[in-house]
Amino acid sequence: MTTDLLLPGTTTMDAVTLHVADLPGMTDYYRDALGLEELPGDAARTAVDRGSPAVGRADTSVLGRGRDALVVLVHTPGLPAPAPGQAGLFHTALLFPDRAALADVVARAGQHPRSVFVGSADHLVSEAFYFTDPEGNGIELYRDRPRAQWSWHGGRVAMDSLPLDPQAFLRDHHVEQAPSTAEVGHVHLKVGDVPTARAFYVDALGFEVTAQWNGAIFVSAGGYHHHMAMNSWGSRGAGARAATLGLGQVSIVVPTTQDVDALAERLRHHDIPAQHDGRTLRFEDPWRSLLEVSAAT
């Protein structure tokens, strides 16, 4: 793919929006189990100012660290839980700066009575721990190894899922410390099939493939191991999503409004409907998962 058809190398992921049934309980969970802060009105508006209609509403909690929003929870009563096999969110992956910061949040999450620990893995490029929140949304807590330690072969990054002992990790790296910075490192979705996901996220949206194996595809901008991933492990053949609890929106940030304009033109070329207000572009993937791409400046 030529450079002008790619997302800018400084593209980043932004806050993930979730529709929830129990706003107080979910807010407490993300605060107490993951050490996030509920951002006050002005900070929340600044952090997710790139088009979120939920900011400032009484039925919404914006949680993050410092002034960085990571999760937006929107109380949406009456929606059912996602049906088994439905497309949607696999996990939101929160990236921490080092092993000590990761161990601190993993210990918090592991001790919380409403956490469900799913597993852990050494992915070669990163070390990761997986949980499920009280309403069934997947969470990955991870830290990256330095990029100089990543191995690339023919444009593909070497990743694996090797054993990672959580008790040994905590024993070696957990120390009491003040909360560190954190960011949404990547978002992993459930889709109906990988070829369709590739056509949308790579050919139309402009990510580059970094890995593809075992029914999943990993894509990024600027040589990161992955900003997004899509798998069909439990959702093969899924069609358009029903209105349910869970994933509300995946948010992506590009550097400038010119980058938003360029993406809008690519989407038109691929006959993908979108709402474009000049700074923010909102559109759905083939399974009706909502994406928002906004300009940082």
209-231 pLDDT tens trace: 999 988 999 999 999 999 999 99
Share of the chain above pLDDT 90, in %: 88
| DSSP one-letter code for 86 | -
What are the structure tokens assigned to 223, written together?
């040589």
Identify the band that residue 117 occupies on the pLDDT scale cut at 50, 70 and 90.
very high
| Residue 25 backbone dihedrals phi, psi, to 5 degrees | -65, -40
- Mean pLDDT within 174-183: 85
C-alpha span between 191 and 45 (Å, rounded): 31
What is the distance of C-alpha 78 from the center of its chain?
25
In DSSP terms, 141 is beta-bridged to 94, 129
C-alpha span between 296 and 275 (Å, rounded): 18
Domain that holds residue 76: 3-295
- Mean pLDDT within 65-88: 95
CATH number of the domain within which 251 lies: 3.10.180.10
What is the pLDDT at residue 57?
Answer: 58
C-alpha span between 187 and 205 (Å, rounded): 15
Please state which of the ranges 40-44, 83-87, 268-272 shows the lowest mean pLDDT. 40-44
Task: Specify the 3-state DSSP secondary structure of 147.
Answer: helix
Tell me whether strands 228-231 and 183-190 are parallel, antiparallel or unpaired.
Answer: parallel
In terms of pLDDT, which residue wins out, 178 or 145?
A: 145
What is the distance of C-alpha 150 from the center of its chain?
21
What is the pLDDT at residue 41?
Answer: 62
Distances (CA, A) of 234 to 6, 130, 165, 192, 193: 29, 17, 26, 9, 10
The tally of domains found in the chain comes to: 1
Identify the band that residue 54 occupies on the pLDDT scale cut at 50, 70 and 90.
very low
What is the pLDDT at residue 3?
Answer: 56
Q: Which of 202, 250, 150, 178 is nearest to 2 (CA)?
A: 202
- pLDDT surpassing 70 at residue 51: no
Buried b (16+ CB within 10 A) or exposed e, 14-51: bbbbbbbbebeebbbbbebbbbbbebeeebbeebbebb
What is the pLDDT at residue 55?
Answer: 46
Please check whether residue 48 is in contact with residue 14, taking contact to mean a CB–CB distance below 8 angstroms.
yes
What is the pLDDT at residue 214?
Answer: 85
> Angle at which helices 99-111 and 166-173 pack, to 10 degrees?
120
- Mean pLDDT within 36-61: 64
